[in-house]
């Protein structure tokens, strides 16, 4: 579903955030994207989502190159940054309707999806209030609902579980599996290694913008646990992973 090939990204000033990174997030799988702060996870996700431009390498979503066919690639993708700022001047339902308009979701279908996802996250009753009046957690839930109502083929989430209460985290895990069951793919970055190990079918670990490890979770972890593997890899890299 997502193919990243020899992707590199440098910021102005010459800082190389990602260097020759290649990995895939196949259909029907949940892929955990792991690395220390500053490893290049957010940069990679933002480039794949079309938020940042890049000049080296190739990123394809559903076969569409995000640089040359951005509209086609974005049409089948939903991305949420780690701290999603939403339109505070809109009400929750106006925002969801706005997103549904952008993604051309038919009227009856969008109503059904909003009811399903907003109901599951228990924010249906507050959708008439302005987003500016929402708490951080509620904004997070609204952002997740806005991503899920698109029923995307690729769902990319940066630091998914930050700010979510245990109930919402549980609900979200179910929906991630639902995306995969529909033939889609999920790629999310996280620092919570226990969750990644339990939830993810595949793991991609990066350090200093470069790929360190990629594969099925069971293969990567082996008889150990993800935290030990991650720390071991960090030590191999001189502690700067």
- Interacting residues toward another protein by CB under 8 A: 46, 49-53, 70-75, 77, 79, 81, 84-87, 89-90, 92-94, 96-98, 100-108, 110-111, 114-115, 118, 124-129, 133-135
State the Cα–Cα distance between residues 5 and 25, nearest whole angstrom: 12
Tokens of 10: 């440098």
The minimum distance between CB 153 and another protein, in angstroms, equals: 12
For the CB of residue 127, give the shortest distance to another protein in the complex, in Å.
Answer: 5
- Between strands 2-10 and 56-61, the pairing is antiparallel
Beta bridge partners of 31: 187, 202
**DSSP notation for 110-143:** HHHHHHHHHHHTT-GGGTTSBGGGS-HHHHHHHH
Sequence-distant (6+) residues with CB within 8 A of 110 are: 96, 97, 100, 149
Output the smallest distance, CB 41 to another protein, in A: 16
Decide whether 106 or 238 has the Cβ nearer to another protein: 106
- In whole angstroms, the minimum distance from the beta carbon of 69 to another protein comes to 10
- Of the two residues 16 and 177, which places its CB atom closer to another protein in the complex? 16
Question: How many other CB atoms sit within 10 Å of the CB of residue 68?
Answer: 10
Q: How far is the CB of 83 from another protein (least distance, A)?
A: 9
Q: Which is closer to another protein, CB of 80 or CB of 233?
A: 80
Compute the distance between CA of residue 4 and CA of residue 14 in angstroms, rounded to an integer: 22
Contact 48, 188 (CB under 8 A): no
Query: Quick one: 18 or 196, whose CB is closer to another protein?
Result: 18
Cβ nearer to another protein, comparing 12 with 223:
12
């Amino acid at each position: 579903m997502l193919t990243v090939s020899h992707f590199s990204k440098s910021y102005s000033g010459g800082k190389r955030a990602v260097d020759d990174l290649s990995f895939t997030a196949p259909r029907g799988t949940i892929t955990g994207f792991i690395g220390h702060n500053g490893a290049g996870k957010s940069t990679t996700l933002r480039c794949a989502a079309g938020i940042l431009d890049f000049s080296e390498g190739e990123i394809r979503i559903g076969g569409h190159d995000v640089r040359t066919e951005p509209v086609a690639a974005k049409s089948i993708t939903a991305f949420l940054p780690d701290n999603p700022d939403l339109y505070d001047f809109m009400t929750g339902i106006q925002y969801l309707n706005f997103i549904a308009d952008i993604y051309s979701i038919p009227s009856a279908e969008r109503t059904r999806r909003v009811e399903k996802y907003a109901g599951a996250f228990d924010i249906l009753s507050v959708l008439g209030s302005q987003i500016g009046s929402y708490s951080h957690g509620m904004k997070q839930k609204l952002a997740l609902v806005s991503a899920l109502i698109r029923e995307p083929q690729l769902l990319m989430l940066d630091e998914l579980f930050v700010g979510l209460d245990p109930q919402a985290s549980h609900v979200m895990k179910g929906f991630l599996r639902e995306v995969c069951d529909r033939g889609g793919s999920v790629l999310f970055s996280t620092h919570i290694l226990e969750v990644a190990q339990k939830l993810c079918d595949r793991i991609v670990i990066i350090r200093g913008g470069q790929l360190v490890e990629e594969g099925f979770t069971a293969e990567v972890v082996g008889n150990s646990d993800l935290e030990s593997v991650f720390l071991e890899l960090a030590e191999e890299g001189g502690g700067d992973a």
